Every structure is written in C-alpha cells, then in structure tokens.
Amino acid sequence: MTADNKTPLVLLLAALLAPLLAPSLARAQPQAPEKPLRYYAHPAAVDGQGVIAPWYRGQNGQLDLRVRVAAETVKRYPWAVPPKAVRPAPEYVYNGTWAIAADGTISVPALRDWDNGDLGQRAAYVLAGLVDYYRYSGDAAAVAHISVLADTLIEHFCTGPEHPWPGILVSCPTRGKPYGKCDPHGLIQLDIVAEVGLALARAWQLAGEPRWLEVLKGWGDLFAKHCNTSPLEPPWRRYANPADAGWSDVQTGGVVFILELLEELIRIGHAGEGGSLVKARDAGRAYLRDVLLPRWTVNDVWGRNYWDWEDPVQAENVTELAVRHLLERPEVFPLWRTDGRNVLSLFLNRTSVAPESRGDVYSGAWAYPESSGCCGRSLWYGPLELAPVYLEYGARAGSEWGRELGRRQAILATYDVHETGVVEDNIDGGQVVAGGWFKIAHPMALKHALAAIAWLPEVFGPARENHIVRSSSVVSRVEYGRGKVAYRTFDAPPEAADVLRLAFRPERVLGGKPLPLREDLREPGYVLKDLPGGDCLVTIRHDGERDVVVEGRDPQEEAGVEALSFSGEWREERGEVVERVARARGAAVSLAFTGNQVRLLGSVGPEGGTADVYLDGAKQLVPIDCWSPSARRRQVLFYRNGLAPGRHELRVEARGARNPVSRGDELRVSAVQWSAAEGSSGSGEGGGPRDAQRVICGYPGREDYRDSKGQSWRPATEVVVRLGTMKDSVTESWWTERRGAEFVRTPDPELYRHGMHARDFTAYFTVGPGTTYHVRLKLAETRSADVRLRLLTVVVNGEEVASRVDIAATAGGLNRAADLVFNGLEPAGGVIAVRFLGSEGGEAIVQAIEIGPGDGGEGARAVTVPAK
C-alpha cells in the first residue's frame, strides 16, 4: 500500500523525524550507554557475536509468543451485528482499520469505502493464518472464525450472475457498503481474487463446507475461460473491470497467485471441462518461465499487486509467492536454486533506495520496507513475510546462507509485539502502519510466524511442547493428548510428509498401520532427530493414509474432569469423552498446577457459549468461545505457555452468554493439561556461512558465473544504495550491459565487465563466527572522467582500509583489471560490511567482491591521490 493511505500524519511525522533517529551506518556499533539500542517494541538483545537475539526469554520462544498474541487478538475482536452489518461477524471481516489502546482494548473507527480495498488481502491472511494455526495448536476457534469469514465473503462480497465474471469476489471493494453488499465497480483485482481463493481452498480442506468448493470451482473456471494462451503474452490482465481502475491493467508477477490457485484446484480434483484449468495453468507457467524470469531484474516484474496504487515496483508479497512457487516445483523450474535466490535477495537492494526508510542491516539482520515507495521506518512486515522464504530456501537448497538470513530476520521482525496485542512497527519504536491496519498487525504476522517455525522448528519451535509444525496437506482434525498426538490430513498423496516437534521420543507411529523407524523417507515411515532437553523432531511419510497417531512417554500431565474443581451448576455427560457442561453464568472450573504451561480441553459446537479465563487470579484478555459450526471434541479452548516455573492456578468461569451466531451458551470441559518439563530451543547463536562468498556486481545472469578455477559467482544483491524514494537500484546503479574491451592480466575478464556505481553504497555479507576473513575487490576503471571524480574509498566494518584510490593508475590504465585485498578481518555483528565511497562528488565503483575465510593473498598496490 502507498503511504497516502496509511495514516498519512503519522507517516509524515516519521519521515520528518527519521534523520534525527537514524542509527549509524556501521550497524554493529552500539549506541551510547545512556540510550540503549531499541528495535520496535523492545530493547535490543544480541548474542556473543553481536548478532540479534530474542528479547523474549520464555521457554516457548519468541516466534511462538508472536503466534499466540496474534491468534488471541483475532479471537477477541469485537463483533459487528445488524443493522450495522449485513450479518453478524467480527469487525475485521468488514473493516480493516483498527485502533488498540495500551491495555489491549480494541476499537474500530468508521470506515470509508476506499479503506475497505484491503478486504481481499485481509481475508487471505486471516484464512491462511488460521488454517495453519489450527494444525499447530488444536485451537478450534480457528475453524469458527474461518467459517464466519468465508460465509460472509461468498454471500455478500461477490458479483451477481449478470456480471461478465459472475460470482467472482470483489477483491478490493473501494465502492459499495463497507458493512454490506459490495459494488462490482469496486476493484476486482484478479491476483488478489486468486490469493483469497487459495486460502479459501485450504480452509475448505479444513472445514469441509461444500458451498465453498463450488464457489472455488467457479472462480477456477472463470480464470480458465479468460486465459490468454498466446505465447509470450500475459495470460491474465490485472482486473476483471479495468475501466473502474485508475491505473494500468498490466499483470506481471501477480500471475503466480493465479497459478497457485489453479495448482490447488487441480490437485484437489477440479481440472475443468476438457482440462481447461490445466491448459490455463500451463500458459501461466510458460509466462513465468519464459517471460518473467528472464527479466528478473526488471522492477515491475515482481510488483503490481498492492490494491491502492499502481505498484510498478518490486514488492514483498509477489516476491514471497513467486519464490515459493519456484522452490516447490523444481521439476517445472530447473533453475529454481539460482532464480529463487536471485529474486528473493534482489528485494534487499531494491528496497534500500528510500532514504526515509533506511532499509539496512541492524545487529546482523536485514530490515526493510514493503517496497521502494512505502512506508517510512516500518521495516518489519517485509522481513516477517520473507524470513520464512529464506528459511524454506535454506531447507530445500541446503543453504546455510538462506537459513541464517531467515533466522536473523525472523528474530528481529518479532521484536514488534506486546502481550496486549499492541504492535510497534517503527524500527525506532512506535507505530507507522500497524496502528491503523489490522491485517498487517496480526493476521499477516500469524501466517508468517507460523511459517518461520515450520521451516526452522529446531530453533523456533516451542521447547517441551507438542506441535505439528509442517504438513504436506491441510490438517483437518487434531487432538493433542498426553503422550499421544492424533490427527487427520485432507489427503495423503505419494511422499506426503509431516513434521512434528514433540516433548517426547515416539515409541509408536501409526499411519493406518504401524510405520517403521527409518534412516530416510524413500518409503513410508518416520525419521527422528533428537533435540536438546528431551525434545524430538519427527518427520512422517504416510502415503495414502490420512489418519496418523504418534505415541510415547510424554512429560506432560493431564487431569480429567474427576480431578478438577467445579463450582456452580454443571452436568456430566459420558460418551467417547467424559465432559462436564455448564450454561449458567458464574459456573466455574479450576485447577492448581505446578509447571510452565497449561491447556484447557473441551468441546465446541453450534451451541457453544463464552467464558472468562483467570490465570493466577488475573483475568486474561482473551475469553473462551465454544461456538463452532460443527462439533469437535477434545479441542484446545485456552492455552498459555512461557509461564515462570512454579505453582499456578487456572480458573474458567462461564459467562452464560454466546456470540451473535451461536444457538446456545454451553461451556464443555473435558481436561486440563500442564507440564513442568524445562528446556530451551535457543535461538541459533553462531550461525552463518563460513565458506567463500563471491558476487559480481551489476550481473543480470540467472545462472552463476563459473570462473577459470571452477568457482561460482552470483549476482550481487545484498547491497544498500540510497538513491531516493521510488528509484530503481538496478537501472540507476548496476552496469548490466557488458563493458570494456580486453582486460589484460586476468584469466577471468568476465568478472570485470559489469559493476555497481553510486556515490555511496554498502555490500553486506552474512558470515559465521570463529574465523577471520579476507575481502578481495575486483576493479576495472572503464570511465574516462576526471580522475578526481573517480577516486574510490573503501570502509570495512566501519574502518577505512583504502582512501582515494585511482583504479586506473592502480591497474596500469583504463579497461585493465586490478584486485585489492584486505586480510585479517573480523565479523562485526555477524557481517562483513564493505562500504564504497566516491570522492569530490564522483561515484564509487566495484566490479566483483570475494569474501572468504583466512588469508586472501596479495593484491595490487593501490595508487592513491591525495586530497587538495
């Protein structure tokens, strides 16, 4: 979104104050002791290497805390009811703007038509985040919120049968009644329709509502019908109603959203008449593979997705989905390793151009805005969205580089939250965007924090707890019991695999029948990885079997209703599960326990009511709501982890009330679980690649260049260059066209034919500790300007190592190669930062850079020009 539509006054003040708040370019240097360094909502913490470390020290970990606070904020949102709203639903269903007080009280401002344009993105994040949250937590409130949102979208926010795109979602309803029927002349942005469709498809696999599937089939058929299959042309335009949009109808990287929806519909069995969806999918694949990826350095190729402006620049949401699409289909995109890495990391260079944002490396972690045009010092939700993609890349490609960049970004980005649900997205503290837009503050964070845990569970997963952290399919039902996790997946295709982080080592795993413990998963079975403190990572392959049970000796304890203390009016029901049921206000259940975590289990259903929760006498912000469109037994009604070890008391008191769509006010309780087991995941201190990293500056190739020694050189993308808001770093600071004639004295002239140029830019290399490094700069002067306008000064980790170098004189003339080498360099904050400065108003240049462990040998003797 543009700054114009994100609390303009706050953004203006942030921009005016930014220069006063700017930290040093040498990010590893701490601020003065009287002013401790702060990121977002909390004082900074660093590890022994000066790299960002969690501010939160609870046993469950900082990422899990972020998940819980996000989910609880969604669950406790106020409702809108008739006559204000066309049907009862939480306010966020209709209104994306919000406010939250310091004590966590949520209020909802009046909504203008235009402000409702984020409906599609908001709905997609809520649906996708809650589907994953149910798998992870077993909290059935996720199913309830999904159902209300999905039903409202289908019944009130779609076009009528007379529309050229009948039944399609009005994805950006900038016209109509914000709490009622959408006007089809609001923006129908097709990539956002597909983004919602993909999330709705996964929600259907969880909840099983037939109406949702029929609507999704209709959307897929419309995309197939309106697909342009002409080679090299965009298969779809940007809008179903381009006449109602105020800007270009061009569709570029947003095609991946449509591709993802078509892939999912085909996977679940809807290929369309005559395979029409398959043909449309193949056209989209060809456009991505043959048109977009060869133009990967073009700015708008990975843009044009935000709803409230033309967005002709690379943005974080298209970058995320495009890279994930490549990673998950290596058989279709054979260059996925280099394409995925290049597109993902190019965003670091692209977003660093805005001086008011100052995207950069902070305590070793990258932080950056959503694009080169928005949103001031809100450097938080871009990294939060892309951190899981770095982690997925690290896992799939076996890349320590990807793993470490993702780990650091995820930690820094989750400095944003308070227990109350207040979010500070200004990296210097305070709010820029999160105080006004709910979808960014919590639904977006819920989805991406869960994804980060999924791809790095050994670091980010809660210690001494049980969670399904990742699954090849949607988990449609799960029960977390003592020493037993039982779940069902929507399907179980060949090579389907799930990853669980458990507080116990499994003794038996069933997938219809007992599955064997194996060393690898070339066949159905499971593999184990022991973690510190008694935890275990379990990866299970269960081809063709949807029901899975994992059993073992769990340190968790559980008390059934016979061991709980009840007061007030309760009745007992015995069936598959023994439960006690209350309807009267004030009926209470309690348990004193010794531990660091607690969960209340019970049933949800159409007659579920609400209840208040007290922990150690303090009323919790989030209540319990037992309503769900269908009955589910032994679900998590409330949980709290990260408690100080010791004695605690949980008390739940029925309100004798219901939400606006429930038919009753029942509170059904079956058990309480708790655990005193202690452990720690840590935070991955000491990570980072220790091998050589080699980059060619300005290099637009999709595949790495191999030099005469067989060494691989990738495009230089992790570079900060302040050019100005909306400037394009590639066109203005890269020499993408090959330069120079012959470069003598080098077996690898191609390393000198590209380059970067600007008055001031910094290349960052994320590295591991425990060694010293060398830097080798490959230089060739191809400019014939006055010598004083082409002098180069080099600063490494804040220390000047070369001053006013005449590159041509050093190399023996123009178009000649010379290498400068600097040895014995220590990482600072987990990075080697090489800053290039021009002199007397001229531009600095560099062609290629090598960072490697140990001594780099000798380089050329630099010829310098003294200042006048």
pLDDT in tens, 596-612: 999 999 999 999 999 99
- Beta-carbon contacts of 333 under 8 Å, excluding residues fewer than 6 positions away, are 288, 289, 293, 325, 326, 339
Q: Which amino acid, residue 359?
A: G
| pLDDT at 367 (0 to 100) | 98
Under-70 pLDDT residues of the chain: 1-35, 741-744
**What's the full length of the chain, in residues?**
868
CB atoms under 10 Å from CB of 575, counted, come to 8
User: What is the pLDDT at residue 35?
Assistant: 60
DSSP 8-state symbol, 518: -
Rounded CA-CA distance 765/852 in Å is: 10
- 764 strand-pairing partners: 833
Name the phi and psi angles at 610, rounded to 5: -115, 160
Half-sphere exposure in the Cβ direction for 435 (13 Å, CA):
17
Q: What is the pLDDT of residue 743?
A: 66
- Say whether pTM exceeds 0.85: yes
Q: Please count the CA atoms within 13 angstroms of the CA of 92 that sit on its side-chain side.
A: 29
Q: Write down the pLDDT at residue 744.
A: 61
CA 150, 152, 155, 160 dihedral sign is: negative
Single out the residue of 584, 602, 586, 592 nearest to residue 638, CA to CA. Answer: 602
Contact 376, 432 (CB under 8 A): yes
Q: Please work out, in degrees rounded to the nearest 5, the angle formed at the alpha carbon of residue 281 by the alpha carbons of 277 and 283.
A: 120
Strand partners, 529: 537
Of the candidates 843, 823, 804, 700, which has an alpha carbon nearest to the alpha carbon of residue 342? 700
Two structure tokens written together for 717: 């993308």
Encoding tokens for residue 368? 């950056």
25-51 pLDDT, tens digit each: 333 333 333 467 999 999 999 999 999
Q: What is the pLDDT of residue 11?
A: 35
Token code pair at residue 668: 């059904």
pLDDT at 15: 37
Task: Return the pLDDT at 741.
Answer: 64
Helix/strand/coil for 225: helix
CB-CB contact of 416 with 40 (8 Å): yes
Q: Do 256 and 293 form a contact (C-beta atoms < 8 A)?
A: no
pLDDT of residue 29: 37
Tell me the angle at which helices 255-267 and 210-225 cross, rounded to the nearest 10 degrees. Answer: 130
Report the DSSP pairing between strands 693-696 and 712-715. Answer: parallel
Q: Report which DSSP code applies to 575.
A: S
Whole-number Cα distances in Å, 266 to 167, 194, 328, 488: 20, 14, 16, 21
CA distance 861 to 805: 10
Residue 590 parent element (H or E) = strand 588-595
